[in-house]
Amino acid sequence: MPKDEVPSRSEQEADECLHCAIIDMVDEKIEAAGANVADLTALIAESLVDIILRVPEEEQAQLMAHTLAALGDLFIQKSGGDGGDALAALLGRHAYGPAVGLLYAVAVSTPP
């Protein structure tokens, strides 16, 4: 799909179904075996890397920046945060906070 084109309703539904399928699979693993959420998250991150590596090399940095920006934006939206304050509070609580904050700042400042 061209960059500026809005996805059709069926494309949006397919994307939502993929999201639901992933969440359902994670929930099943946690419920069935008490899976380690950190390990599951790392596997999902590895899948994102595999997807990023499928695009041409010259597009990979932009896709990674987009992915990081989406991760931050979605976290803030779904956690009920109010933007920068929620992200600052989150980053302040974690050892990796400064590094993640820098990556996020680069991602959101990178033009599409």
Rounded to 5°, angle at Cα 1 from 69 and 104: 5
pLDDT score recorded for residue 49: 95
Q: What is the pLDDT of residues 71-106, one digit of tens each?
A: 888 888 887 765 555 555 555 555 555 556 556 565
For the whole model, what pTM was predicted?
0.60
pLDDT score recorded for residue 91: 58
Residue 5 is given by DSSP the state P
Q: What is the pLDDT of residues 35-82, one digit of tens each?
A: 788 888 899 999 999 999 999 999 999 999 888 888 888 888 887 765
Taking the domains of the chain in order of start, what are their residue ranges? 8-54, 57-112
pLDDT score recorded for residue 79: 79
Extended strands (E) in 1-112: none
At residue 1 the predicted structure's pLDDT band, cuts being 50, 70 and 90, is very low
**Contact status, residue 72 vs residue 108, Cβ threshold 8 Å:** yes
pLDDT score recorded for residue 100: 60
Q: Which two tokens stand for residue 27?
A: 């929930």
Give rounded-to-5 percent helix, strand, coil for the chain. Answer: 75, 0, 25
> How many other CB atoms sit within 10 Å of the CB of residue 34?
8
Average pLDDT estimate for 7-20: 67
